[in-house]
Structure 1
């Protein structure tokens, strides 16, 4: 399983997606308070109180992480693995859109200025690795089919 290059690509994508649970994705600065955007929502830096909950973002990141993990263990069924990777791509696009949407609406609601941090690109880099994994899985499937024709 680990000796296949697509597994390495999927592990990198899994790591990049799981990083979103531990980092601040954006900073919101208003005249009176400073806030950070995490996977839970928008939190006040000084009081550590959650100003705006974002259950949708939490669920989306969790589901995407689980889907990528499941795709790693589907190595015996390559066609299903490709389909699960396609689902993960859609979810990663959703994460990027959700981070942007939650950040913009929170900034408007709190009257704060929004500054995205480097983790905003993690889903996009993860998406690239999943596409690379899909191509490698497709090559494996083509190789197996060509070997079946020879028999």
Structure 2
């Protein structure tokens, strides 16, 4: 299980997607007023009063699913075709996370007339999509290897 490269890829996806829980995705700058940090769970005002200004439960839950699904996929190592399907579902969830992040950021910035400063953690779902494709490729190689070994017997 751990010696397979796709296991490493799936672990990396889970680790990378925990970063947006703790690091801001974007910073919303309002001229001559307060600034806000946008996290997956909501918007926090920068400064003395650091209370949540808005909650985004759908984005938070979607982010939790994008963390949990690769971990579940790792332990289904005997069901390779199911692993491939779950990798496809993971890619769809990552695209949904990216779209939902962009939507909520632009919606909140539009309400506040704020300038958006995207942070590095905004592109992490794109990096995870690439890594999920690499994991799928590794699973396909395993299937191909097992089929060739069955032919030899």
TM above 0.5, yes or no, is: yes
Equivalence map 1:45-124=2 (5 Å): 45-46=46-47, 47-124=49-126
Give the Å deviation of 1:150: 2.6
2:128 equivalent in structure 1: 126
Q: CA RMSD in A?
A: 1.0
Give the whole-Å Cα distance in 2 for the aligned partners of 1:34 and 1:14. Answer: 30
Structure 2 unaligned runs (5+)?
none
1:18 equivalent in structure 2: 18
| Partner-residue secondary structure (3-state), 2:7 | helix
| Partner-residue secondary structure (3-state), 1:39 | coil
Partner deviation per Cα, 1:3-53 (whole Å, 9 max, x = no partner): 111111111111111111111110001131110001111111121121121
**How many residues in Structure 1 have an aligned counterpart in Structure 2?**
151
Q: Which runs of 4+ in 1 moved over 4 A?
A: none
Scaled by the length of structure 2, the TM-score of the pair is 0.94
Partner deviation per Cα, 1:77-127 (whole Å, 9 max, x = no partner): 111111101000000001111111111001011221111001111111111
Scaled by the length of structure 1, the TM-score of the pair is 0.96
Give the whole-Å Cα distance in 2 for the aligned partners of 1:106 and 1:68. Answer: 30
